[in-house]
Chain A
Amino acid sequence: MTLSEGTGLPAQSPPVEPAKTGHAPANGGQKRSWAGESGESVARNLVLVGVLVALIVIGAVTQPELYSDSTWVWNNIVSILQLASVVGVVTVGMTFVIIGGGIDLSVGAIVALAGVWCTTLATQSYGTVGMIFTALVVGVAVGLVNGVLISYGRLVPFIATLAMLVSARGLAAAISGKQTQISSNSFINSLASDRVLGVPLLVYILAVVAVAGWVLLNRTTFGRRTVAVGGNPEAARLAGIDVKLHTMLLYGLSGLCCGIAAIMLTSQATSAQAAMGNLYELDAIAAAIIGGTLLSGGRGTIVGSILGVLIFATITNLFAINGLSTEAQNMVKGGIIVAAVLVQQFRFKSLTRFFARNRATTAG
């Protein structure tokens, strides 16, 4: 719908080959490499890696003194990773929802609700397990409510999750009495502060979630259904896939990721409050889009989404070390989103062809 690449209708439209991608006419039937999923997404992700490297180079060029200090560089990398970790987990869930043809605007609010709920005095009295359990259950439950409204209540995902955004934050404020709730659980607090091999535990959590997400998307029947449901819901239904059930589960999965993110964010701040996770929905959606996830569903990769998150975190860091304002930063981010979509539309055909040709020749 909204931001999908190439919403511009061809004036006298030729056969728009992959129906879901709705491209402009000039590229007629050839926006897919014959290599299918691999060739194209590899090319795409390599470009993202290139962008990431370029951003780091810009950092080094603008702040040569800082970059001459290797401890500072290491610490800076760690802080970028730490910055990316919480949004990264949310983005993994978001990627699934978008590939499945939906959108989840309530992720930030779910993070807040789960964070607040798991840090009430009552919950904290149940200890670490109680807190973690609460955060996850709250996340999944709210996600499933979204899912039920969308699948069985037939609400548009945009509207259902927008409503959830408002009410979940409202509930979070009510539970916390608009107070900041301090976490006195040392295990949870240690997730952000403790390091293994010099890397904070939060980063490991992101790594585990990302790997699990990758496996789930690429190697399991759940992932296969996700692509089918998002790519062509009618075809999925006629092939015997329970589209409604699966859609509901996708929102549950997104909620689960929000629950995990809530624990991580609580750990970072050693507290929780109703305003936490503000605008995470935008960061997560933007990262997924930059990572090549098609807003209209049916296509996307976890690797791309994680690269998208890292690119955003690096930009934020770049602005911070150069002492620039967040306003400028937001404007640049907006520009990057637009650029990413444009680049995807125009550049990947040729790159993909290049890769496909190489494969064709090596394959004989």
Chain B
Amino acid sequence: MSTHAEPTGVEPDVVLRLTDVVKTFPGVRALDGVQLEVRAGEVHCLLGQNGAGKSTLIKVLSGVHRPDAGTVEWLGEPVQFANPQAAMKAGIATIYQELDLVNDLSVGENVFLGHEPRRFGFVRRGTIADRTRQILGSLGHEEIPARRMVHALEPAGKQVVSMARALSQEARLLIMDEPSAVLAHDEVENLFRIIRRLTAQGIAVIYISHRLEEIREIGDRVTVLKDGRTTAENLSAAGTPTSELVSRMTGRTIEYVFPPRPEEPPQTAELLKVTNLSRAGEFRDVSLSVAAGEIVGIAGLVGSGRSELLETIYGARRSDTGTVELGGRKLRAGSVGAAVRAGMGMAPEERKSQALLLGEPIYRNMTLATFSGLARLGFTNAGRERAEADRIAGSLDLRPLDVRRAVGTLSGGNQQKVVVGRWLLGDTRLLLLDEPTRGVDVGARAELYRVIRRLASEGVGVLLVSSEVPEVLGLADRVLVMREGRVVREAPSHEIDEDTVLDLVMSGSLMEGTPA
């Protein structure tokens, strides 16, 4: 339990105060008068819909952007950070929403990037490795080798490195922009343990997440943003009712519900059949099937081989043994082209590195898999592409709704909608979704669930991977639980509950050891 700000008579020291901060981008007022007050030793949560301005706000704090108007007071002094290094020096460390590691450097080099310990101008590699090991150890991740290249790590591992980097310098304020989005259940607990230790030392934390349960568990106070404005300041994280938080965020009430399942599960033909699929070190002897119109969910820890399985079914990785059949036809192993032609689509786990062309317009990103089909005689049809993209963008509540905008200017959650949206147009028969709602806010999430359910009712098969057990249980008709590369349980989703899934998933993780 975190300590809640009890009135103790003494005003706790305010380390950071923002008054009327404004930041505009071409055509957008991302911040339009933000107030924020953060005290030493508290966990201050920022809530807001996708595109509300949370990430922009923290980029203003960390010196990436400069505010157009308003004041930032840090430790009682008005400040303007010229660049991220200046903010870092002043004691503000940031973990950004989009992983910002250099893939071709080692873990240690990333942790100390920009403030490498030196002697006579030479970087002291030994020191880097030692201190990195120390920090990783204090984060409970001594298994990550300090000299391993970052590109060889899983997303969760990268998140840990990002965190280690933020902790590698003395900070008085630690900002975390959706740190839990790529973490599995037990990892989040670990994260909270670290946060509690930091706040006990008087370090302030700004925490951003779309998961209200997390905010209730770790947060002390909450500030809510809507359309770049502060709509509520310093609410109690534990005491404020959910309905109030949601209505401050969205201006309306959202029942956070999953769309109803069809009464009779569709007993239609088998669409996807995977038999004894294996890949050395990733997963072994996986057999599963998905019927047309069925949503099958895979639960499991990060590192249990779920994403690898999905990518192998899709042909993005070549299986060692086993077969994948779609609609009765065997697919060539290791060929994405064959899978796509047969009617598969996959929304990958990492939007930035695996899915998006950040400089290209939204509509071209949405139609990246379908533009050939919309073209005539090899000539692209931009008008139709825009119309199709508009349709999907509307149904997913994309903000701002202008499909000609470069996708890189969208907020994280809105980029995610583009990634999933790509496969909602065109005539995909089987949809593979890897963490489809990562970073998507509660309202848009419900929209996304509805769209997925509607596709299923039209006969599309869906295979869903998610770290959020309630999502798997709420959306899927049938659930597979994976642990250490094997399917350990399969059940209709109404016959299994969250605790059972978590028990199944965790029991393996007690045996320490990382699957290769």
CB within 8 Å of B: which A168-194 residues: none
B337 touches A14 (CB 8 A): no
**Is A9 interfacial (CB-CB < 8 Å)?**
yes
Option from A19, A20, A30, A238 in Cβ contact (under 8 Å) with B25:
A30
**Is A36 interfacial (CB-CB < 8 Å)?**
yes
Chain B residues within 8 Å of A20, by CB: 358-359
A13 touches B100 (CB 8 A): yes
Chain A residues within 8 Å of B380, by CB: 219-221, 223-224
**Is A360 interfacial (CB-CB < 8 Å)?**
yes
B88 touches A12 (CB 8 A): yes
**Is A29 interfacial (CB-CB < 8 Å)?**
yes
**Is A10 interfacial (CB-CB < 8 Å)?**
yes
**Is B360 interfacial (CB-CB < 8 Å)?**
yes
Interface string of A8-33 (1 = CB under 8 A from B): 01111111111111000110111011
Interface string of B360-404 (1 = CB under 8 A from A): 110010001101100100111000000000000000000000101
**Is B28 interfacial (CB-CB < 8 Å)?**
yes
Task: Report Cα–Cα, A226/B170, bound state, in Å.
Answer: 46
**Is A34 interfacial (CB-CB < 8 Å)?**
yes
Option from A21, A26, A37, A353 in Cβ contact (under 8 Å) with B360:
A37
Interface stretch among B34-42, B287-295, B349-357? Answer: B349-357
A34 touches B59 (CB 8 A): no
Interface stretch among A134-142, A229-237, A265-273? Answer: A229-237
Chain A residues within 8 Å of B31, by CB: none
Option from B113, B336, B340, B422 in Cβ contact (under 8 Å) with A9:
B113
Interface residues on A, range: 35 or more
Task: Report Cα–Cα, A271/B264, bound state, in Å.
Answer: 80
Task: Report Cα–Cα, A32/B356, bound state, in Å.
Answer: 14
Chain A residues within 8 Å of B360, by CB: 36-37, 227-228, 231
Using known A-B contacts A232-B357, A236-B368, determine if residue A12 contacts B84 with beta carbons closer than 8 Å: yes
Task: Report Cα–Cα, A26/B316, bound state, in Å.
Answer: 36
Using known A-B contacts A29-B409, A227-B360, A298-B359, determine if residue A15 contacts B336 with beta carbons closer than 8 Å: no
Using known A-B contacts A12-B85, A14-B96, A224-B380, determine if residue A35 contacts B348 with beta carbons closer than 8 Å: no
Using known A-B contacts A10-B114, A238-B354, A299-B359, determine if residue A28 contacts B25 with beta carbons closer than 8 Å: no
B378 touches A21 (CB 8 A): no
Using known A-B contacts A32-B409, A219-B380, A239-B369, determine if residue A11 contacts B27 with beta carbons closer than 8 Å: no
A356 touches B100 (CB 8 A): no
Task: Report Cα–Cα, A240/B355, bound state, in Å.
Answer: 11
Using known A-B contacts A17-B408, A32-B359, A222-B378, determine if residue A12 contacts B115 with beta carbons closer than 8 Å: yes
**Is B184 interfacial (CB-CB < 8 Å)?**
no
Interface secondary structure of B, over-half rule: loop
**Is A357 interfacial (CB-CB < 8 Å)?**
yes
**Is B26 interfacial (CB-CB < 8 Å)?**
yes
A228 touches B368 (CB 8 A): yes
Using known A-B contacts A15-B97, A34-B26, determine if residue A221 contacts B359 with beta carbons closer than 8 Å: no
**Is B346 interfacial (CB-CB < 8 Å)?**
yes
B348 touches A15 (CB 8 A): no
Listed by A's residue number, 23 A-B pairs whose Cβ atoms lie within 8 Å are A9-B113, A10-B84, A11-B85, A13-B84, A14-B96, A18-B358, A25-B85, A28-B64, A29-B59, A29-B65, A34-B405, A34-B406, A35-B404, A221-B372, A221-B375, A221-B380, A228-B368, A235-B353, A235-B357, A239-B422, A353-B26, A360-B26, A360-B27
Q: Which residues of A contact B (CB under 8 A)?
A: 9-21, 25-26, 28-30, 32-37, 219-224, 227-228, 231-232, 234-242, 298-299, 352-353, 356-357, 360
Beyond the given pairs A14-B100, A32-B409, 5 more chain A to chain B contacts, judged by CB atoms under 8 angstroms and listed by A's residue number, are A20-B359, A29-B65, A234-B353, A236-B368, A240-B341
Q: Which residues of B contact A (CB under 8 A)?
A: 25-28, 59, 62-65, 82-85, 88, 94, 96-98, 100, 102, 113-115, 314, 316, 336-337, 339-341, 346, 348, 352-361, 364, 368-369, 371-372, 375, 378-380, 402, 404-406, 408-409, 422
